Amino acid sequence: MDLVAVDELSVRYGRRLVLDRVSLAVPEGSVYVLLGRNGAGKSSLVRCLLGEQRPGSGSVRLLGGDAWRERAALLREVGVVPEEPDAPPAMNARELARFCSGLYPSWDGAGFAARLERFGVPSGVPFGQLSKGQKGQVTLSLALAGSPRLLILDDPTLGLDPVARRAVFDELIVDLADRGTTVFLTSHDLAGVEGIADRVGVLRGGRLLVDEEMDTLKQRFRRLRLPAGNGHDLEALAPVSSVTRAWGSEVVVGAWDESFAREEVEVSAMTLEEIFLSLVGQEGLR
């Protein structure tokens, strides 16, 4: 079963088309990572998933129900971590947990306390006095304590230091291993998500440029270093970008075929970040 099903989704703000007929699906038990430059439409798509914004056209189904019309009932089984952690500043983590426990049918209070302890976040300090990293860790702990079928995270590590980022991903990995929670995640931390993503989507200019399995994506992209004057025809390999160097040229191809291998051509596998940059440009991680 697909816990997220987006079909031909379009969103406009006035005359500006932010999402243009986007379709994607997130099967139960999988981790889907949506990437894109700032302004590509990621947050608008998340708002539609959460029933916070009505699509201009198309449909969004969450856990089998209409995300706009059935929002209140559906979110009882959804954990949410927003880009900017938000909670009443005067409430501490214990008070937030007591409040949230009545909203979810399968609240895990012991799990919440254990996560805070692993994160090293004091449970008695008001939310407004915590660091940004600690606020994010409290928000993630609250989201997971509801034992959600689906976890939606909108760039949860944005602005965090490396230690806090690593802690967030480590906690996600533990939860995925223990319960197989389905995850929909937007992120600028490509190195962090590369190890957990099953499927990757790339938005560019409001359109879904890529939507495929992580392994497939990494198998078909390669960086080729060709000596000067090399006459190999690269058209069949679907060149994505090319840079001329003093010694020859460096070409990224999106349809690598092992039969093309030549002794004089150096072939390198690519990380998710390198693939993303080749698709959206060198300013992609701003």
Same structural domain, 242 and 103: no
CATH number, residue 57 = 3.40.50.300
SS (H, E, C) 188-204: CCHHHHHCCCCEEEEEE
- 13 and 76 assigned to the same domain: yes
Same domain, 137 and 240: no
Q: Does the global pTM surpass 0.85?
A: yes
Cβ–Cβ under 8 Å, residues 208 and 216? no
Q: Please tell me whether residues 210 and 230 are part of one structural domain.
A: no
According to the model, what pLDDT value does residue 247 have?
A: 63
Do 32 and 97 fall into the same domain? yes
Q: Based on the domain organization, do 246 and 123 belong to the same domain?
A: no
Question: Do 185 and 82 fall into the same domain?
Answer: yes
Q: Which of 112, 120, 173 is nearest to 144 (CA)?
A: 112
Q: How many residues does the chain have?
A: 286
Predicted pLDDT of residue 180: 80
Residue 280 to residue 38: CA distance in whole angstroms: 11
Indicate the number of domains in the chain.
Answer: 2
Is 44 within 8 Å of 18 (Cβ atoms)?
Answer: yes
Lowest mean pLDDT segment, chosen from 17-26, 97-106, 172-181: 172-181
- Residues 153, 38 share a domain: yes
Give the residue numbers spanning the domain of 88: 2-215
How far from 105 is each of 29, 76, 145, 154, 261, CA to CA, in Å?
Answer: 20, 7, 11, 24, 56
Q: Is residue 144 part of a domain?
A: yes
Q: How many percent of the chain have pLDDT more than 70?
A: 95
* Residue 138 sits in the same domain as residue 120: yes
Would you say residue 18 lies in a domain?
A: yes
Q: Is 283 part of a structural domain of the chain? A: no
Give pLDDT, residue 285: 37
**Do strands 248-253 and 182-186 pair parallel, antiparallel, or not at all (unpaired)?**
unpaired
Q: Closest Cα partner for 6 from 53, 43, 45?
A: 45
How many Å is the maximal CA-CA distance in the chain?
Answer: 69
**Of 195, 215, 235, which residue is a domain's last?**
215
> Distance from CA of residue 173 to its chain's centroid?
14
CA dist., res. 167 & res. 218, Å (int): 26
Residues 154 and 251 in one domain: no
pLDDT for position 157: 86
Of 30-39, 168-177, 197-206, 242-251, the least confident? 242-251
Domain assignment of residue 278, yes or no: no
